Structure 1
Amino acid sequence: MAIVSKVLVIGGSGYIGKYIVEASVKNGHQTYALLREQTFSQPHIQDYFLRLGVHLIHGDIYDHESLVKAMKKVDVVISAVGHRSHSNILIQDQIKILAAIKEAGNIKRFIPSEYGMDVSRARVNAIGPAKSLFEAKMVIRQAIEKERIPFTIVCSNYFARICIPYLFQYDIQSSTMDHAIIFGDGTSKAIFSMEEDIATYTMKTINDPRTINKIVHIRPDGNIYSSNQLLSLWENKIGNTVSCKYITEEQLLKDIQDESDALNKLILAVAYSSFVKGDQTNFDLEPSIDVEATKLYPEVKHTTVDEYLDHLAATSSCNTN
């Protein structure tokens, strides 16, 4: 019988946070969302959570008392805070969540906001804003271990719904799927996970003793592709050739240096780690610290890249059929 937990999601109104909240409710957990004043006051957000059956808590990670009070209501805390400054909450501010967990004293599992690459490996080759982001996540990991807080790290690599439709074009406002940018020689493999699947696997871990104090890697065999392979698969789906531009490592490094938009600069820097250095797939898992989600939970029917591209092809203006 599945264990029912009381789950607090911090950052539940954000991009991946909404998927996690929905997965928590779907799995029968008593789910709480901590909402700041500016978010709590938006009726459409309140209505969204209330329709799901989520318990809303008015609080803020910068208000220690409200955070501890929220912790007292639950036994699992999942952070989905963002990494962009305009969200007003940064990855490193999760240190305040740790302080509240320690004071509350009742939290059985904490999942910090990671969900991307395994920063313990990727930070070796990382540059620019990607390096800063990876190091900030490492600071939180180290603080969790220092405070002896039971944790699970979820590394899902790329969000498929964001990355795949734009074929690695970082100017997402203007990009379409009828042309592509390939970084490096296009042979380094990356991992693409559907957001719904990331949330499902995340919720699977919260009461699993096999994932306590471990890094859970979401890397389905059918979701690991190089840029060249992904482009070829897409062209086969639409029955058309896609205009493609290759950007060398040297040019990419220059573009990162010259880019003025902070978000684009970060996307490029992460792409350098993923598609030039291959840092999503260039290491083996170590049984002492790593577990793989699809091996732990074979019952989960995840969406493959091939299946997602079928969906995109059916709705794409690039389809010549």
Structure 2
Amino acid sequence: MEVINKSKILIIGVTGYIGRYLVEASLSMGHPTFALVRETTMANHPDKARYMQDLKDSGVTILFRYFPSEFGFDVDKVRILEPAKSTLAIKARVREEIRMAGIPFTFISSNLCSTYFLSRLGQVESTGIPDEKVIIMGDGNTKVIINSEKDIAIYAIRAVDDPRTFNKVLYVRPASNHCTLNEIVSFWEKKTSKTLDRIYVSEEEVLKKIQSSLEPLPFFYAIAHACFIKGETCNFKIDKSVGVEATELYPDHKYTSVYEILNQFI
């Protein structure tokens, strides 16, 4: 039987939002897995220290350094307002430095993560799904791409040894996950047999929120404005010379649709 040597995978920001899913996916696919963390994380956060010990027990090698990592928008394309603009500009500069240095890369454009946005039906100032009324930015008809964090991680890890992703942007754009806020609310209403009062907020009102809200709300309003009003996740076609789409490369992976993801919040 042919033995296939899996690439070693170094995951940066392993205690972060996507990092945990990446570790899980890497281990499940049999890759020698390394986690890059800051020593201060272990010293100052007992819960994260316990998590790191669990990773070590699972066979993950822990390394102590720090580098930036990237998931979310395609930072070379997205048009977004401050304060999010400056954050994404840093990622864009890192991309440029990587290209100029001739370092092989695959950038992941994962779009929106489901746990944050679907758990509140796209509302910024909410800690959960409302019972009576839902605030919808714009007219609610702008398409946005929202993906399961587990799917994002699986696609990312599979891309590691795939020559088709060499020096390319891997876009995670499953067809069933292109949805509008109106559609997402309708999905929820169908699942729960409840009707929510839809309160539509104009773009002008959202811009005022970005200017007047206390931190960190302006950042999240800027993200929401780019997605739910301007459609920045869906408003371009993939340039095949620089990018590839995850579901086209890996059609065997059954990704979770937005409609299915909502089940976890019922």
Return the offset for 1:264.
1.3
Gaps of 5+ in 2: none
Q: 1:5 aligns with which of 4, 7, 17?
A: 7
2:230 is the counterpart of 1:277 = yes
Q: 1:191 aligns with which of 132, 145, 156?
A: 145
**Which has the larger displacement, 231-240 or 48-57?**
48-57
Provide the C-alpha distance between the structure 2 equivalents of 1:130 and 1:35, rounded to a whole number of angstroms: 24
Q: 1:47 aligns with which of 53, 61, 64?
A: 53
Q: 1:115 aligns with which of 45, 66, 71?
A: 71
Return the offset for 1:55.
1.3
TM-score normalised over the length of structure 2:
0.92
TM-score normalised over the length of structure 1:
0.77
Partner AA of 2:14 in structure 1: G
Equivalent residue for 2:65? Answer: 60
Give yes or no for contact 1:39–1:45 (8 Å, CA) kept in 2: no
Equivalent residue for 1:34? Answer: 36
Secondary structure class of the residue paired with 1:119: coil
Label 1:31 to 1:191 Cα distance change in 2 as closer, same or farther (>3 A): same
Return the offset for 1:187.
0.9
1:169-216 Cα offsets, whole Å, 9 max, x none, are 21244x433232211111111111100100000001111111011111
Return the offset for 1:293.
0.1
1:38-69 Cα offsets, whole Å, 9 max, x none, are 33344412332123221122x222xxxxxxxx
Partner AA of 1:292 in structure 2: E
Equivalent residue for 1:171? Answer: 125
2:85 is the counterpart of 1:131 = yes
Provide the C-alpha distance between the structure 1 equivalents of 2:52 and 2:235, rounded to a whole number of angstroms: 43
Give yes or no for contact 2:124–2:224 (8 Å, CA) kept in 1: no
Provide the C-alpha distance between the structure 1 equivalents of 2:4 and 2:116, rounded to a whole number of angstroms: 32
1:250-278 Cα offsets, whole Å, 9 max, x none, are 111111000121x2111100111111111
Partner AA of 1:130 in structure 2: A
Partner AA of 2:227 in structure 1: S
Displaced runs of 4 or more, over 6 A:
none
Equivalent residue for 2:249? Answer: 296
Secondary structure class of the residue paired with 2:76: helix
Q: How many positions carry a matched residue from both structures?
A: 259
Q: 1:181 aligns with which of 135, 139, 145?
A: 135
Return the offset for 1:306.
1.3
Return the offset for 1:3.
4.5
Q: 1:20 aligns with which of 12, 19, 22?
A: 22
Higher relative contact order (CA 8 A, sep 6+): 2
